[in-house]
Amino acid sequence: MKLALTIAGSDSGGGAGIQADLKTFSAHGIYGMSVITSITAQNTMGVLGIEDISPDMVYLQMKAIFEDLYPDAVKIGMVSNEDIIKMIAKGLKDYNVKNVVLDPVMISKSGSYLLKPQAVEALKKELIPLSLVVTPNLMEAGELIGKEVKSVSDMKEAAKKILDFGAKTVVVKGGHLTGDALDVFYDGKEFYEITSERIDTKNTHGTGCTFSSAIAANIALGHDLVESIKRAKAYITGAIKHSLAIGHGVGPTNHFWNIEIRKV
């Protein structure tokens, strides 16, 4: 059995965060574990409140896992504040964690800050250098490099700059572009454009969480990084295609077994 860990915030509505990650791990046949950084009261319409877990408790959860159930891959999502970021970095170093997928979550689709704006620098300094792959969306890539990212050529420029912060590889997600759903992967040598059809739906809550945890799941299964990203792209495309029109706002992606994997 392969094991994967998500270090992220809880979404009470089940569409994003820890809940989306664990559903994604299960759909890949992976045993999922969690380190909860923050609890959000959230549904398809928005975030009603946020309560962060103490940094010591974040570290204790990591200790509990790494000293008994060492994961094959780790996904990091909402990290909320600088003290939590520093504690996660300490845990990753103490336990020599390698296969880290970092989704630099900053603002929910509904507009709530999931990372304190003053903590962006800590994220860049402490967590990016410990990551195998960083997966910003257009807005997050722009915040990281201090310049708007609006086109495929901007995405490539951003990927290069984020690599300079110490990331080993970067996927800049183009979910918020128009036209095909095109993401850019950069490994320091080559650029890859990973494209799928754009699905016409408003129900895209949790797309970034689902995509990054699917990359982690595929790494845990033993696939190389390019193959893991390709498979994750197929998975998120299926999860959006089958997304759920539940609740009164932006419905969530849907996770299901026996998903068809095809080249995109």
Ligand X SMILES: Nc1ncnc2c1ncn2[C@@H]1O[C@H](COP(=O)(O)OP(=O)(O)O)[C@@H](O)[C@H]1O
User: Which sequence positions are flagged as catalytic?
Assistant: 173, 204, 206-209
What is the dihedral angle through the alpha carbons of 183, 188, 191, 192, rounded to the nearest 10 degrees?
-60
Does position 142 interact with ligand LCLJCK34 (CB under 6 A)? The reply is: no
Within 129-148, which residues bind ligand X (CB under 6 A)? 137
Cβ partners under 8 Å of residue 157, min gap 6: 145, 149
**Helices in 135-250 by DSSP H: which ranges?**
138-145, 152-164, 207-220, 225-241
Does position 213 interact with ligand X (CB under 6 A)? The reply is: no
**3-class state of residue 116 by DSSP:** coil
Residue placing its CB nearer to ligand LCLJCK34 in the complex, 62 or 105: 105
- Please select the residue that binds ligand LCLJCK34; options are 75, 109, 173, 231, rule is CB under 6 A: 109
Question: Which strand ranges, in their side-by-side order, compose the sheet holding 133-134?
Answer: 47-52, 31-42, 3-11, 73-76, 100-102, 133-134, 169-172, 181-186, 191-196
Sign of the CA dihedral running 216, 75, 185, 224:
negative
Tell me the window of 40-48, 55-63, 115-123, 199-207 that interacts with ligand X (CB under 6 A). Answer: 199-207
Sign of the CA dihedral running 137, 165, 89, 191:
positive
Number of neighbouring beta carbons within 10 Å of residue 160: 13
Does position 199 interact with ligand X (CB under 6 A)? The reply is: yes
Q: What is the closest distance, in whole angstroms, from the C-beta atom of residue 72 to ligand X in the complex?
A: 22
- Binding residues for ligand LCLJCK34, rule CB under 6 A, total 19
Rounded distance between C-alpha atoms, residue 261 and residue 27, angstroms = 13
Does position 78 interact with ligand LCLJCK34 (CB under 6 A)? The reply is: yes
- Please select the residue that binds ligand LCLJCK34; options are 40, 44, 135, 243, rule is CB under 6 A: 40
Does position 181 interact with ligand X (CB under 6 A)? The reply is: yes
Which one of ligand X, ligand LCLJCK34, none interacts with residue 11, CB within 5 to 8 A by kind?
A: ligand LCLJCK34
Residue placing its CB nearer to ligand LCLJCK34 in the complex, 205 or 231: 205
Number of neighbouring beta carbons within 10 Å of residue 193: 13
Does position 80 interact with ligand LCLJCK34 (CB under 6 A)? The reply is: no
Q: Which residues bind ligand LCLJCK34 (CB under 6 A)?
A: 8-11, 16-17, 40, 42, 77-78, 105, 108-109, 114, 205-209
Query: Which stretches of the chain bind ligand X, using CB under 6 A?
Result: 137, 173-176, 181, 183, 196, 198-199, 204, 207-208, 211, 233, 236-237, 240
